[in-house]
Structure 1
Amino acid sequence: MFKRILTLSILVFSTCMLQAQEKGQTIKLSKQEIEGIFLEQNLDLLAKRLEISQAEAQLIQARLWPNPTFEISEINLWRTTDIEEQPLIFGNWGTSQQISLHLEQEIETAGKRRKRIDLQKLTIAERQTDFEIVLRESKLALRNTLTNIQMLQQQQEIYQKQIDNTQRLLAGYKNQLNQGNISQSEYIRLKAAQLQFKKELVDLSKDLEEAMKELKNFINIGANTPIYITNNLEAPIKMISELQIEDWIIHAQENRPDVLLNENLINQAKKQVEIEKAERTPNLTVAVDYDRAGNIMRNFVGLGLSFDLPLFDRNKGNIKEAKLGVQIAELEAKNKQNEIANDIIEALRNYMQAKDLYDQIDADYETQLDHLLDAYVKNFQKKNVSMIEYLDFVEAYVENKNILLETKKELNEQVENLQFAIGKDI
């Protein structure tokens, strides 16, 4: 049921996006909607799904028996001397013709075919795990890109608000300047502040375009399609404690896709050892021959059996190489287990540091900043505060708003990094 709803939602979004692209409109999407589109349209994921299908096709091929070999030989198209006439084959033809037929079938021994099938099944599992790894890594990059875009969008709004405020103040100051009530320097100072805000806005727009390019690559949307993320950047609400770290490490060491991939590679290496050992046993070739007029019998039918004599080549080198492959895979798996524990510890510490900084900010601090800005604008218009006091506060206001956004962004990114290290959403 959930998959049907998700598929229907994706179809609706795709239709809306096509219509918006045709009209040049901005597409407004939430983070959840973007993740849904990403799962359906990301080209890397689509390619990985095709690789799984390729491996499944190879399993079909591995199950097939080798084709038999059929040979026709010793046919004479002319009559020779001293020939013993033979019965006609068809029509008036065949009294002086000789023919030989040979049919052979190779039979694999020591369970080679079954072992290759088992190895191919492990290869399918490897491709599926590869898909999970790419999905996991891409989802982390996507979510961090979305967080960055959210921050940049809100920073744009901050600077645009200051540009609008300054524009209104400049209109009033222009009249005062024309009436000779203020000096030219005051007007120029306010104009310079507005120009600085515009420059910051242009720089933010460049950063946003770069982030949007990454987002469009993730969700496979046309480059000329404007996108706006509807969610505001907020601090994540997660119940995270250092007491959970042991459970997280155990979970990650058992369930993370890269761990499962290493386990799969160990099993593949062991299966390859079995195959190489089986190669010591020669395959059998069973043959049936028919010979017309080429033997003491007019129509001769005979059976044959052939196989290699394993006197010189017992496949020792390939067996040794396969065994070393098992040891290498086991060492890499052990190293991955150590890396996982360290990844989780590092990610948790980074999160705790970001959370500690965020917790030091009063819950209503941002609201207080906004109220103070409104008050400063009104008092500046009434000349209760000087231009220097006003511009100093505006500079502090913008800086603090940016610090708040960057703190939220950092906290979101550290949560995602921790979830990535654990291998699941917390």
Structure 2
Amino acid sequence: MRRRLLPLGLAALLFNPSFAQTIDIGRGGTYEISNGSAPRAVEPTSSLSLKAALSLAFGASPELSGARRELEAIEATIIQAQVRPNPELATLIEDTQKATRTTTLQLNQPIELGGKRAARIDAAERGRDAATVELDAKRAEIRAAVVASFFDVLIAQERLRLAQGSVELAQRASGAASRRVTAGKVSPVEETKARVAEAGVRIELTLAVSELATARKRLAGIWGNPAPRFERAEGDLNALPPLPALADLNARLATSPNLLRAKIEVDRRQALAEIERSRRVPNVTVSLGAKRDEQLGRNQAILGLSIPLPVFDRNQGNLLEALHRTDKARDDLSATEIRLSNELALAYERLNSARWETESLRQDILPGAQSAYDAATKGFELGKFSFLDVLDAQRTSFQAKSQYLRALAEAHRSAAEIERILGEASASSPSASAATKP
């Protein structure tokens, strides 16, 4: 009897769609888990451009790599959602005496009803869409961080150069004051004031060195390098990012990854609600087998059908939860639209103000402050001005240049923030075009 029933059970298993599908996945290699990491670019030891910094970040950022891994994991959920329930092979032996024993071999196959499989696949695909948009949003965040940090390095380099020039000028002023004191033309107090001013400028130089080191580490840390190798950043610091119309930016906001992520979450929650709704329809289990009655001396075929009765558990609680979470996702979408719109408007205003301040400083204030300082220094060396006039002109020039650098930094940070909100990482972006100029 067992020899007759065993081939029947094996044949049922081999011709079952679920079993065949599992074998196909395992042997066909339709899905492969990759444990290898993406090749990482080598950080240059000389100059670093914005393009090279972006390449390093996109290739070696741990956060971006984690987002890619999440997308790969979500792809696996689609494969799992497509599979059908496994069959069940059951055997039953009645009586221990061989003469009166009854042996039953039965194959049970659950059949999903109510669109459960289609609902699972749809929910898994919505999860993949969410992971894809999450990867795009992460790329936009990484890009904005690189752009902002890169221009911080450029500005820190310029501030260091400015501090070094101020130290040289302060040394010249101290030397001139010392010579005038030796010649008896001015009081020794003038030389003391010059030395004090020189010490203050040297403090500014120390702060500028520290600020540059911090900016370099912050930039290299984006691609996971705690000790920067590049010597300096190369780019056109004075090139201001353009200011598009706010209406154009708002129109592009509708396709930003941050907003699409919230929209896809609504679709995903709706798909999950459909899964819970489909579970209210019970599955059917079809049974096929054979029964051997030793007492009667004959085999009997078995055909059965099992249907659960949804009397008490109709999955009502899970469905209600899924519907409420869908409503919450819609509320989150509205909140995200408002938040992104406000963030975009604020970044736009900051960029507009920074551009106006930079242009005013560049065209009007900086030339006048430098001219006044040059005239005061030359007049002091000729004995026409006091050292207080030189100190005042030097302080004014230094403050104007520092304000100019701060305005430049704010402009580039605001432009990078707009790119982060919009999620655009094109090569023709404002900051990219500004930093690639020699």
> Which of the five TM-score ranges fits, normalised by the shorter chain?
0.7 to 0.9
**Given residue 351 of structure 2, which amino acid in structure 1 is its aligned partner?**
Y
Written as runs of structure 1 = structure 2, the 5 A alignment for 1:126-205 is 126-167=130-171, 185-205=189-209
What TM-score results when the alignment is normalised by the length of structure 2?
0.77
Distance 1:117 1:39 in 2: 31
The alpha-carbon distance between structure 1 residues 166 and 407, as it changes in their structure 2 partners (threshold 3 A), is: same
1:110 is the counterpart of 2:114: yes
Q: Which is worse superposed, 155-164 or 230-239? A: 230-239
Q: How many residues align?
A: 389
Q: What do the CA deviations read for 1:13-49 (whole angstroms, capped 9, x no partner)? A: 93463xx4xxxxxx42122321222122211111101
The answer to whether the 8 Å contact 2:170/2:201 transfers is no
Written as runs of structure 1 = structure 2, the 5 A alignment for 1:1-400 is 14-15=41-42, 17=44, 20=45, 27-72=46-91, 74=93, 83-84=98-99, 100-167=104-171, 185-223=189-227, 225=229, 227-241=231-245, 244-245=246-247, 247-252=248-253, 254-293=254-293, 296-361=296-361, 363=363, 365-367=365-367, 369-370=369-370, 373=373, 376-400=376-400
Distance 1:176 1:345 in 2: 57
**Given residue 229 of structure 1, which amino acid in structure 2 is its aligned partner?**
A
Aligned match of 1:4: none
Q: What do the CA deviations read for 1:132-169 (whole angstroms, capped 9, x no partner)? A: 22222333333222233322221111111122333455
Q: What do the CA deviations read for 1:181-217 (whole angstroms, capped 9, x no partner)? A: 8765444433322221221222233333333332122
Distance 1:53 1:84 in 2: 59
The alpha-carbon distance between structure 1 residues 179 and 339, as it changes in their structure 2 partners (threshold 3 A), is: closer
Deviation at 1:364, TM superposition (A): 6.5
Deviation at 1:116, TM superposition (A): 0.3
Deviation at 1:224, TM superposition (A): 5.3
**Given residue 249 of structure 2, which amino acid in structure 1 is its aligned partner?**
W
The answer to whether the 8 Å contact 1:108/1:284 transfers is yes
Deviation at 1:56, TM superposition (A): 0.4
Deviation at 1:352, TM superposition (A): 3.0
Q: Secondary structure at the match of 1:309?
A: coil
Deviation at 1:290, TM superposition (A): 3.4
The answer to whether the 8 Å contact 1:235/1:411 transfers is no
Aligned-pair Cα RMSD in Å: 3.3
Distance 2:91 2:202 in 1: 87
Q: What do the CA deviations read for 1:371-402 (whole angstroms, capped 9, x no partner)? A: 65555555544555433222222111111110
The alpha-carbon distance between structure 1 residues 14 and 347, as it changes in their structure 2 partners (threshold 3 A), is: closer
**Given residue 134 of structure 2, which amino acid in structure 1 is its aligned partner?**
D
The answer to whether the 8 Å contact 1:273/1:322 transfers is yes
The answer to whether the 8 Å contact 1:290/1:300 transfers is yes
The answer to whether the 8 Å contact 1:233/1:409 transfers is no
Q: Secondary structure at the match of 2:85?
A: coil
Distance 1:204 1:290 in 2: 88
Deviation at 1:255, TM superposition (A): 0.6
The alpha-carbon distance between structure 1 residues 126 and 191, as it changes in their structure 2 partners (threshold 3 A), is: same
Distance 2:250 2:228 in 1: 44
The alpha-carbon distance between structure 1 residues 237 and 138, as it changes in their structure 2 partners (threshold 3 A), is: closer
Q: Secondary structure at the match of 1:363?
A: helix
Deviation at 1:113, TM superposition (A): 0.9
The alpha-carbon distance between structure 1 residues 410 and 269, as it changes in their structure 2 partners (threshold 3 A), is: same
Q: Which is worse superposed, 121-130 or 136-145? A: 136-145
Distance 1:283 1:295 in 2: 36
**Given residue 127 of structure 2, which amino acid in structure 1 is its aligned partner?**
T
The alpha-carbon distance between structure 1 residues 378 and 278, as it changes in their structure 2 partners (threshold 3 A), is: same
Deviation at 1:269, TM superposition (A): 1.9
The alpha-carbon distance between structure 1 residues 131 and 423, as it changes in their structure 2 partners (threshold 3 A), is: closer
Q: What do the CA deviations read for 1:263-292 (whole angstroms, capped 9, x no partner)? A: 212212222222222111111222233344
Deviation at 1:61, TM superposition (A): 1.5
Q: What do the CA deviations read for 1:34-81 (whole angstroms, capped 9, x no partner)? A: 1222122211111101100000011112112222222455399xxx76
The answer to whether the 8 Å contact 1:235/1:412 transfers is no
The answer to whether the 8 Å contact 1:52/1:124 transfers is yes
**Given residue 161 of structure 2, which amino acid in structure 1 is its aligned partner?**
E
Distance 1:248 1:376 in 2: 47
Distance 1:62 1:70 in 2: 23
The alpha-carbon distance between structure 1 residues 72 and 217, as it changes in their structure 2 partners (threshold 3 A), is: farther
For structure 2, list consecutive stretches of 5 or more residues without a partner in the other structure.
Answer: 1-37, 431-438
**Given residue 343 of structure 2, which amino acid in structure 1 is its aligned partner?**
D
Distance 2:143 2:266 in 1: 27
Distance 1:181 1:359 in 2: 42
The answer to whether the 8 Å contact 1:71/1:103 transfers is yes
The alpha-carbon distance between structure 1 residues 351 and 65, as it changes in their structure 2 partners (threshold 3 A), is: same
Q: Secondary structure at the match of 1:84?
A: helix
**Given residue 41 of structure 2, which amino acid in structure 1 is its aligned partner?**
S
Aligned match of 1:415: 415
Q: Which is worse superposed, 359-368 or 387-396? A: 359-368
